[in-house]
Structure 1
Amino acid sequence: MANSIETLVQDYGWIHTAIGLIGNAAFFAGSILFLPRFEPLKTWGVWLFIVGAGLMLVGSAGNLMVKVYEARHKRAQG
């Protein structure tokens, strides 16, 4: 399992940034739906906030894993 996580972090580190960007976009869209003009869509705004925040959290955690892995790899080589 650890090896598969290392592969995910090493080979697909960019995906964490993409997940974070999708989360940011969802959060932004949710913010717009809180404007008075979009009052009937307020529930969608809440859900976009929740999903966006979750995706941003996953993206940031993934980026942290990439940095930790790179630091360990650099220390092991040097």
Structure 2
Amino acid sequence: MIRALVQDYGWIHRGLGLVGNLTFVIGSVLFLPSYSAWQVVAVWLFITGSALMFVGAAGEFAVRLYENGRHTGKGTRGRNASDD
């Protein structure tokens, strides 16, 4: 299951990171003095955006680890590709 998420759905990680960045920017704008009534929403957008950026970055890291293991032969649970 993890392999399928990493291999087949890598675009999700980029999408989550992008949405996280957007919510973080919107939260930043809501901290401007003219939007002071929206500061609680801004805090939650910061938290949500940060979490999404973290999940996106962790997913990208997992994709790169998986891809790196596939190219070096270390992703086969201790077996070399030549063992087959």
Please state which band the TM-score falls in when normalised by the shorter chain: over 0.9
How far is the alpha carbon of 1:57 from its aligned partner?
A: 0.2
Q: Highest relative contact order (Cα 8 Å, sep 6+), 1 or 2?
A: 1
**Residue of structure 2 in register with 1:34 after alignment:** 31
Unaligned runs of 5+ in 1: none
TM-score normalised by the chain length of structure 1: 0.93
Distance (whole Å) between structure 2 residues aligned to residue 14 and residue 68 of structure 1: 15
Moved over 4 A (4+): none
Q: Name the Cα RMSD after superposition.
A: 1.2
Aligned residues: 75
TM-score normalised by the chain length of structure 2: 0.86
Matches within 5 A, 1:45-64: 45-64=42-61
* Bigger fraction of residues in helix: 1
Unaligned runs of 5+ in 2: 74-80
Larger radius of gyration: 2
Distance (whole Å) between structure 2 residues aligned to residue 49 and residue 21 of structure 1: 14
The AA in structure 1 aligned to 2:44 is W
